[in-house]
Structure 1
Amino acid sequence: MASPILPGTGLGSGLDTGAIVKALVNADKAAKQGQIDRGTATNTASISGIGTLKSLMAAFNKAMKDLGSTTTPQFPGFAATSSDVKIVGVTANNSAVNGNYVVKVDNLATSSKVTSAAFAGGTTSPITADTLIITQGTSTYNLDIKPGATLQSVRDSINADTSLKGAGISANIVTDSFGSRLVLGSTTTGAGSDISVGSVSGSSELTIDGSTVVGESGGPAMTPTSAGSIGAVAIDAKFSIDGMALTSKSNTVDKAVSGLTLNLVATGTSTVTVASNNDGLKASIQKFVDAYNALANGITALTKPSLDDDGNLTVAAALTGDALPRSILSAIRGPLAETGAGDKLTVLAQLGITTDQKTGALSFDSSKFTSAMNDKKLGGEVQKMFVGDAGSNNGLLARMTKVIAPFTDAGGVLEQRTTSLNKTKTKLTNDQGALDRRIETLTAVLTKKYNDMDTLVGKLKATASNITSMFEAITAQQRNS
């Protein structure tokens, strides 16, 4: 809104009424405006600082979770490789032993897939109401077939049944030249896992004998009434390790060689090599140190003011004097000093990880790490120190995640601080609006008063001039008479 202050000299008084009003308004406004400006600057800096702090904490939290992943372990003491991963895949845990193993895969473990007889009417073929008895190995599952059921509704009922779904059994419909067939498959592999389908009545048109092989690859050619195992019955995997013949119901073998999990992929021969994972451990430990230092140094940058050449404060940092960053630093430093869950490896210093007393950041001495791996043979315990025992939260990474949770969780300290700062920002905006309105009103009032004064002075000057003229005229008449 345009200011009502009129610049220039008053016509009646000859005074610069605009300058007078402006000076009075500025004097009245200065204290409150200064308070709002200082509050806004501090609030803006704090909002920016808390935003940066939240980003630092989120990055640190993600790093801890990635390093502590159970699906892709980052701290295995041993590394296992396969000369041909298209035949055998391999992973090692901390109980592995250095060595080489020749693995020859003769055949893979297979699962059961069975088919019913063909229904010429297709997917809408009616199915007699009954109770199907689906058997796999020693497990039996009952499925009620309601009146009015069709081949498609039976398939849907099988796929919706939670017990069958939990057993890995599913169904679909395949249509060939003879009609539509109900086909059941399973994720369970190994001999004895063949699926059979019977019924309480003993006469269901969906009866399937899983021990009977149908289909050209393993039995007679398919006919409209063919029902049974497609291609071949389920079998165990057959393989050998260094010439020793072994079998497995699963293609994932975790008990044949101590500390190794073999994933049989195809028939053929591959050499598995197990060696100490020093390079991998070093890289993962460096990731931890880097993640910690990024957070610690970032917090320091948010709280440490800039100094001039004489050591005097020049510019305060975004969170200088704020207790929150110090609380976070104190929280994450706590787990570093705690004793780990290992037997021989209990403190980070054994791996060459120490705290810089001046900066609070971590230092990683690679020579001490190499000694711990080669001379003291601590590689197998590194994972336990960082990740902890299986199913526990006693690893360093889990403890780190736990101590920062009160700050980073939804509704936590950082979110509460952000909410409070935003409320303060809104209040400052409202205070500025109120001050602007008050100043506008004061300006209008003072301008009117000084304009009225100027008008009055002008009238008084005019009156005085008239009176003076009158007396001068009288004096002139008296002189001439």
Structure 2
Amino acid sequence: MAISSIGVGAGLPLDELLDQLRSAENKPLELLKSRAASVQSRLSGYGTIKSSIEALKTAAEALGKADTFGALKTSVAGEAFTATASTKAIAGNYNIKVNTLASGQSLTSDPQADRNVKLATGKVDVTVTLADGTETTLSLDAADTSMEGIVKAINEKSGLGVSATLVNDGKETPQHYMLLTAKGTGTEAAIASITVAANEANPALDVSQVNNLMAYDKVAATGAFTETEAANASISINGIDIESQTNTIADAIEGVTLTLLKTTEADKPQALSITRDDAVTSKAINSFVSAYNNLQGIIKTLTSYDVASQNSSALTGDSLARNVQSQIRDALNAANSSGAMGSLSQMGITTDPKTGTLKVDNDKLDAALKDNMPDVQKFFASETGLSKRIGAVADNFVKTGGLIGTATTSMTNSLKNLEDQYDTALGRIDAKMEAYRKQFTQLDVMMAQMNSVSSYLTQQLSMLGNIGKEK
């Protein structure tokens, strides 16, 4: 007898009973899921704390760099040049004239009617020598000895110091010119000579047509190229003449890099002012304070407990999170020096007793930077300064194999273990529920059969009872 749904044959709510049994069996699974969610929340919380510690470490490292203290800024009264200054520079004022800009040499060949015709029937060596002595040889196959082939070979050769292009005059029957341009500016980057020779594999090869196009000697003033000469940059600083191969001039004024843009008017130098830029130090200190406060706020949020709702956070009661907080605070409070700026409070940086966060009095900080920069630098950047202390504590937590790494590895293993337990329990429950289903199905079939027999017997007895009544 076929049963379309468990319980139909027996007239019993067997499907509902199976669902109730399943719910009862699933309770251990819910517990495993809850434990896994708790571990995952802790794991995520540790990741957030680690990122915040790394941000604090980065901010602390900036306070350990010499470039953060005594930085200089430049101001140019004009548009002939720009200037940047390193910490090696010295504050001062300068009058600068830009007489000439550095430019690159260019060579223009005699015109050719056909840019694709081969100028030799075999392999040709073309050697380019720059004024600084750099020598590079191109070995051209016969197919590459046309104007177009030579241009391609030049542009594909690294280290040649020369680029090439073809220009036509735009006429109905155009004439083609080869234009060679030195990649660098100044006289030392210019082309000194170009020689053409038959490759040693065929020394008797006629290379005259290639030679007529490419041969050049600047000193001897021979060759078919027309030259636009290179020029060096020429400036004067407070009356001192300086020459440069490029338009970027470094350390003519120690620690200062000038980038020339255009020439100045005759006898009208432009002023360069170099002054100390305390804003760089102030910004670095404020960035550190923000990173510190951010870490403290994150730890507070992740470890808080809401008494009213009795809800805990991901790391409520977690010892590692509290350890991070206490060690970072200890490193901050232990930092001191023997100079005029021996503590954070002397620079205008104080701790809020209610929140534990830092506050910056920027007016007081600016005054400290203005009057006591060396002592401020000593406080932050010395071997026993705040930067080193915070960095050491941070490394203890975030380095590979550090405290957070060890904890997260343990939790990752716990999650894997819980996942395995879940899968095992789920398989066991599925097997038990399948056994229940089969038993219920058999019960349903048996009850259906019994109900059928009962109905049949009832019918037969009813018929027997009616036999006597008919007489």
TM superposition score normalised by structure 2:
0.68
Partner Cα separation in structure 1 for residue 102 and residue 376 of structure 2:
32
Distance of aligned partners of 1:267 and 1:442 in 2 relative to their CA distance in 1, 3 Å threshold: same
Partner Cα separation in structure 2 for residue 93 and residue 416 of structure 1:
44
Deviation readout 1:68-123 (Å, 9 max, x if unpaired): 999xx776611112122x31101111133333222221111222223343333215
Question: What secondary structure is seen at the aligned counterpart in 2 of 1:375?
Answer: helix
CA contact (8 A) 1:406 1:413 kept: no
Percentage of pairs with the same residue: 24
Distance of aligned partners of 1:407 and 1:415 in 2 relative to their CA distance in 1, 3 Å threshold: farther
Residue number among 432, 437, 447 corresponding to 1:444 in the alignment: 437
Partner Cα separation in structure 2 for residue 64 and residue 155 of structure 1:
54
Q: Give ranges in structure 2 of 5+ residues lacking alignment.
A: 199-207
Q: Give ranges in structure 1 of 5+ residues lacking alignment.
A: 215-224, 387-393
Partner Cα separation in structure 2 for residue 175 and residue 339 of structure 1:
72
Partner Cα separation in structure 1 for residue 346 and residue 124 of structure 2:
69
Residue number among 45, 50, 60 corresponding to 2:41 in the alignment: 45
Give, in angstroms, the shift of residue 273 of structure 1.
Answer: 1.6
Partner Cα separation in structure 1 for residue 217 and residue 376 of structure 2:
50
Residue number among 90, 111, 129 corresponding to 2:104 in the alignment: 111
Partner Cα separation in structure 2 for residue 197 and residue 338 of structure 1:
68
Distance of aligned partners of 1:466 and 1:136 in 2 relative to their CA distance in 1, 3 Å threshold: closer
Give, in angstroms, the shift of residue 288 of structure 1.
Answer: 3.7
1:122 partner letter? R
Partner Cα separation in structure 1 for residue 103 and residue 411 of structure 2:
57
TM superposition score normalised by structure 1:
0.66
> Aligned ranges for residues 225-236 of structure 1 at < 5 Å?
226-230=224-228, 233-236=229-232
Give the length in aligned residue pairs.
Answer: 432
Give, in angstroms, the shift of residue 265 of structure 1.
Answer: 1.1
Distance of aligned partners of 1:460 and 1:200 in 2 relative to their CA distance in 1, 3 Å threshold: closer
Partner Cα separation in structure 2 for residue 236 and residue 278 of structure 1:
37
Give, in angstroms, the shift of residue 405 of structure 1.
Answer: 7.4
Partner Cα separation in structure 1 for residue 335 and residue 135 of structure 2:
51
Distance of aligned partners of 1:279 and 1:396 in 2 relative to their CA distance in 1, 3 Å threshold: farther
Q: Tell me if 1:122 matches 2:115.
A: yes
Deviation readout 1:27-65 (Å, 9 max, x if unpaired): 3443x2333332443355356546756876787799899
Residue number among 175, 181, 188 corresponding to 1:184 in the alignment: 181
Residue number among 258, 275, 281 corresponding to 1:262 in the alignment: 258
CA contact (8 A) 2:57 2:391 kept: no
Distance of aligned partners of 1:375 and 1:118 in 2 relative to their CA distance in 1, 3 Å threshold: same
Residue number among 93, 98, 123 corresponding to 1:100 in the alignment: 93
> Aligned ranges for residues 271-350 of structure 1 at < 5 Å?
271-301=271-301, 303-309=302-308, 314-320=310-316
2:178 partner letter? R
Distance of aligned partners of 1:175 and 1:350 in 2 relative to their CA distance in 1, 3 Å threshold: farther
> Aligned ranges for residues 59-458 of structure 1 at < 5 Å?
77-84=71-78, 86-126=79-119, 129-148=123-142, 149-150=144-145, 151-164=147-160, 168-176=161-169, 178-187=175-184, 189-199=185-195, 201=197, 204-205=211-212, 206-210=214-218, 226-230=224-228, 233-268=229-264, 269-301=269-301, 303-309=302-308, 314-320=310-316, 364-367=360-363, 369-378=365-374, 385=381, 406=399, 427=420, 430=423, 434=427, 437-438=430-431, 440-448=433-441, 450-451=443-444, 454-455=447-448
Distance of aligned partners of 1:56 and 1:173 in 2 relative to their CA distance in 1, 3 Å threshold: farther
Partner Cα separation in structure 2 for residue 157 and residue 42 of structure 1:
66
2:180 partner letter? V
1:111 partner letter? G
* Greater shift in the superposed pair: 359-368 or 37-46: 359-368
Distance of aligned partners of 1:279 and 1:207 in 2 relative to their CA distance in 1, 3 Å threshold: same
CA contact (8 A) 1:109 1:251 kept: yes
Distance of aligned partners of 1:209 and 1:17 in 2 relative to their CA distance in 1, 3 Å threshold: closer
Question: What secondary structure is seen at the aligned counterpart in 2 of 1:378?
Answer: helix
CA contact (8 A) 1:120 1:178 kept: yes
* Greater shift in the superposed pair: 98-107 or 20-29: 20-29
Question: What secondary structure is seen at the aligned counterpart in 1 of 2:372?
Answer: coil
CA contact (8 A) 1:46 1:421 kept: no
Question: What secondary structure is seen at the aligned counterpart in 1 of 2:234?
Answer: strand
Deviation readout 1:104-163 (Å, 9 max, x if unpaired): 211112222233433332155435744333222232313132330323333333333333
Distance of aligned partners of 1:275 and 1:416 in 2 relative to their CA distance in 1, 3 Å threshold: same
Give, in angstroms, the shift of residue 304 of structure 1.
Answer: 0.8
Distance of aligned partners of 1:432 and 1:363 in 2 relative to their CA distance in 1, 3 Å threshold: farther
Distance of aligned partners of 1:261 and 1:314 in 2 relative to their CA distance in 1, 3 Å threshold: same
